[in-house]
Amino acid sequence: MRDDAVIIEVGLNEAVSPAQHRHIPQTPSECAADALRCADAGAALVHWHAVDSAGVQRLDDVDLYGGALDLMRGEVLAYPSYRTDVADIVDERLAHCLALRADHGLEVAPIDVATVNLVLVDETRRTIAPLEPLAGFEVIRNSLPFVADALARYRSVGLVPTLAAFDLGGTRTIAALAASGLLVSPFLCKIFLWNSPLIGPTPSVAALDLHLRELPDDLDCEWSVVTYGVRDPEVLAEIAIAAIERGGGVRVGIGDSPDANPDATNARLVDQVAGWAAAVGRPVASAADVRARLGLASVR
């Protein structure tokens, strides 16, 4: 990255509702406006979930995603989510990403490399769930054949993958995919540290360091840390600053950890990360910087 700049990404909304956080965006126009505010504050990337007018997530809806992408005008690199309650086959899960590339200029697209159990915890009641099957929502399945096919299909249409490492095995898998030639560099890598669901180690600087030990020094990628479901803003700050100090990027967002900053906007969280980067002595990457790093063409 030019001048060792910090990539700031935002998880705009995830599965958070307005009842959970008053600043959460949902409609295409809301998501686009929020993304542009985040870009003004220093974010280079945003990720969001499409939500219809009834407040229902539509994770493969080309029109909802495309409407937001068009309104963002390429001022930030934005990418959608995908359904995990359908078969892990590219045409089932990622057809909307390919359509968004063709019709709306999508530049970056997601792929998760691990299959994990979605064990949810209620810390106040000391209970876990689900204890009964929930039609595909109790497990996130991402088989290796699916991942390999997704990477090949993305490459064929000029999409740069942003890969999610849900646990240490996921981080090792990303390194192995690159070593095998199935994953072409440079790419984006997100290291997830989960409070809930119970995936991987408890979020901490030590947990981040465990992941980083699995990334070879010569791996040509840009990595960021994602702290998910964390309630304590001091934990978020500690991990984010550690990532910046170690040369990585940071994803923030009320979609990822709504309880940590109940009154903050996404743009305010971006501004906070930019302040941490300045304190460490690193500049903040623009969308243009990231496009240049990834070999993407200038904004359409």
pLDDT tens digit sequence for 129-169: 888 777 767 889 999 999 999 999 999 999 999 999 999 99
Comparing 2 with 37, which gets the higher pLDDT? Answer: 37
pLDDT in tens, 13-52: 999 999 999 999 999 999 999 999 999 999 999 999 999 9
Q: Percent of the chain, pLDDT > 90?
A: 89
Beta strands in 169-238 (DSSP E): 187-194, 221-228
Question: Taking the CB of residue 53, how many other CB atoms lie within 10 A of it?
Answer: 8
Would you state the pLDDT for residue 131? 80
How does residue 3 score in pLDDT terms, banded at 50, 70 and 90? confident
Mean of pLDDT values over 93-117: 97
Which residues contact residue 265 at a Cβ distance below 8 angstroms, ignoring those fewer than 6 apart?
Answer: 23, 34, 37, 254
Q: Which residues are 189's β-sheet partners?
A: 163, 223
Residue 293 phi, psi (nearest 5): -65, -40
Q: How confident is the model at residue 300 (pLDDT cuts 50, 70, 90)?
A: very low
Domain ranges of the chain: 2-294
- pLDDT given at position 120: 82
Taking alpha carbons only, the member of 46, 34, 113 closest to residue 79 is 46
Dihedral over alpha carbons 52, 261, 43, 78 (to 10 degrees):
-20
DSSP 1: -
Rounded to whole angstroms, how far apart are CA atoms 189 and 174? Answer: 8
| Exposure string over 257-267, b if 16+ CB within 10 A, otherwise e | bbebbeebbbb
pLDDT of residue 125: 66
Say what the pLDDT of residue 84 is: 93
Please give the structure tokens belonging to residue 118: 């979605």
Residue 49 CA to residue 178 CA, distance in Å, equals: 28
pLDDT for 137: 75
What is the C-alpha to C-alpha distance for residues 255 and 244, in angstroms, rounded to an integer? 21
pLDDT value at position 299? 46
Average pLDDT taken over every residue of the chain: 95
Evaluate whether 253 touches 24 at the Cβ level (below 8 Å): no
Task: Give the CATH number of domain 2-294; options: 3.20.20.10, 3.30.1360.120, 3.30.1540.10, 3.20.20.70.
Answer: 3.20.20.70
Q: How far is 242 from 248, CA to CA, in rounded Å?
A: 9
Q: Enter the pTM of the model.
A: 0.95
